[in-house]
Amino acid sequence: MLRTLLTVPVLAPVLALIPVLPSGAQETAVPPKPDLPALIECRGQRPEFMALAPALETPLTAVAMGWQPLPQTNMFMTEFRLVAPIRVFGHDTDHIAFAGESVIAVLDLPDPRPLARQLDLETAIDTPAKAMFGKELVSNEVHDAVSGSTMIESVVLNVSNVSSHPGKTLVGCSYSLDLPEEEVPEQDPPAPADASPPARDAR
């Protein structure tokens, strides 16, 4: 099952705006550095992915982790330049991004198709302008003891291109937690356009 990328809050370039802490002030705590290659290659776990939230919400935390916030070039992506490059599926990169529940590596590959074939992914879109491939690797039921509800934990590997990043290939993993399809609340159907309110008794 392939999932589309969702919008997340986008961080503007803020390095120049980060205040200098006065002498003796408490410095930003440096969180444990995540295993980004494992998360991008779908070898991680959802709690590890969720632990990255502070870096997305607080620029100082991102900088403390060695992530330089980049200017917004795609409204659906929050991007960072890494101080130390990482290696993902045999390719080196210092450029990562987040989109919805996905963590992504931006690779210097002009065509995503060879990588998609290497990873044995399913085709969602394949046109001259747009290519998107993916595969659901994990689908587990998770029971919430507090609410009593059952959720579906899904891990999906994706490879694609995007017009905002010409000459690049995006590869990443989404870690989602959703209600089962049959439990998604249904909205009441809209009233017919020609429906009129009940007539009142004229008195």
Per the domain annotation, does 122 fall within a domain? yes
CA distance 179 to 185: 9
pLDDT in tens, 74-100: 999 999 999 999 999 999 999 999 999
CA distance 70 to 165: 13
In this prediction, residue 179 carries a pLDDT of: 85
Q: Are 80 and 145 contacting, i.e. CB atoms less than 8 angstroms apart? A: no
Per the domain annotation, does 195 fall within a domain? no
In this prediction, residue 195 carries a pLDDT of: 42
- State how many domains the chain has: 1
Using DSSP bridges, classify how beta strands 102-107 and 131-143 pair: parallel, antiparallel or unpaired. Answer: unpaired
In this prediction, residue 143 carries a pLDDT of: 86
* 23 compared with 67, residue with greater pLDDT: 67
Supply the range of the domain harboring residue 163. 35-182
Lowest average pLDDT, out of 13-27, 46-60, 73-87, 113-127, goes to 13-27
Judge whether residue 198 has pLDDT over 80: no
In this prediction, residue 148 carries a pLDDT of: 81
Per the domain annotation, does 67 fall within a domain? yes
Per the domain annotation, does 22 fall within a domain? no
Give the mean model confidence (pLDDT) for residues 40-62: 94
Per the domain annotation, does 77 fall within a domain? yes
Quote the DSSP letter at residue 2: -
Q: How many other β-carbons are positioned within 10 Å of the β-carbon of residue 33?
A: 11
Judge whether residue 142 has pLDDT over 70: yes
In this prediction, residue 196 carries a pLDDT of: 44
Q: Are 142 and 107 contacting, i.e. CB atoms less than 8 angstroms apart? A: no
Per the domain annotation, does 27 fall within a domain? no
The 10 Å CB-count burial string (b at 16+, else e) for 147-183 is eeeebbebbbbbbbbbeebeebbbbbbbbbeeeeeee
- Is the pTM of the predicted complex or chain greater than 0.95? no
pLDDT in tens, 99-122: 999 999 999 999 999 999 999 999
Residue 84: Cβ-neighbour burial (10 angstroms; 0-12, 13-18, 19+): exposed
> In the predicted model, what is the mean pLDDT of the chain?
81
Per the domain annotation, does 21 fall within a domain? no
* 145 compared with 139, residue with greater pLDDT: 139
